[in-house]
Amino acid sequence: MPGSVFLAGDRLALWTVEPEDYEFIRNHWNRPSNRRMTNRRKPLSDGQIASYIAENDDPRAHFIPCRNGEPVGFIWFPQIDDVSGYGEIGYWICEEHRGSGYATEALQLAVEYGFDDRRLHKLMARVFEQNKASMRVLEKVGFQREGRLRSHYYVNGEYVDAFVFGLLREEFENSR
């Protein structure tokens, strides 16, 4: 299903995204359990996913984490500023694969890509305050909570806070 292996870890590999993967991304990103944690309010079609990937700063900054060639989630860089050396990262793991450590391993691989291949100085992520599992994943990889965006997102009929997490290259390198 996915393209080719781009980075490999112990249990997972990050594969490139191909048009054949849009259905997988759509089917899982449209699920309420993923959508409500990634600020997606409208249903996504394969065409919208294709446009999102093609119009993003760098279409190569989208990956499908796979275990033994089977997709378990999606990880992407919605923003990369090569001049400032800054990147933002987002991710989700399919509901049936949560709790297996896949998010942590996929994020670790994506961070390596951001710092080693893209030579970024800093990575950041935004997490809704109710998404405790994602905060734990970020902290396991070395991200630190840097701030709170108060009543910043409208999710499931209410305004929610989001936390901003950041990781500097030197912090990541010192943790290796």
Residue pLDDT, tens place only, 77-114: 988 988 999 999 999 999 999 999 999 999 999 999 99
CA-derived radius of gyration, the chain: 15
pLDDT at 157: 85
Query: Is-contact 159 130, C-beta < 8 A?
Result: no
Full-model pTM: 0.90
pLDDT at 131: 93
In DSSP notation, the chain reads: ----EEEE-SS-EEEE--GGGHHHHHHHHTSHHHHTTTT--SPPPHHHHHHHHHHSS-TTSEEEEEETTEE-EEEEEEEEETTTTEEEEEEEE-GGGTTSSHHHHHHHHHHHIIIIIS--SEEEEEEETT-HHHHHHHHHHT-EEEEEEEEEEEETTEEEEEEEEEEEHHHHHHH-
Residue pLDDT, tens place only, 49-73: 888 777 654 545 899 999 999 999 9
- CATH top-level class of 5-175: alpha beta
Given a cut of 60, is residue 27 above it in pLDDT? yes
Work out the angle at residue 42's Cα, subtended by the Cα atoms of residues 166 and 131, and round it to the nearest 5 degrees: 35
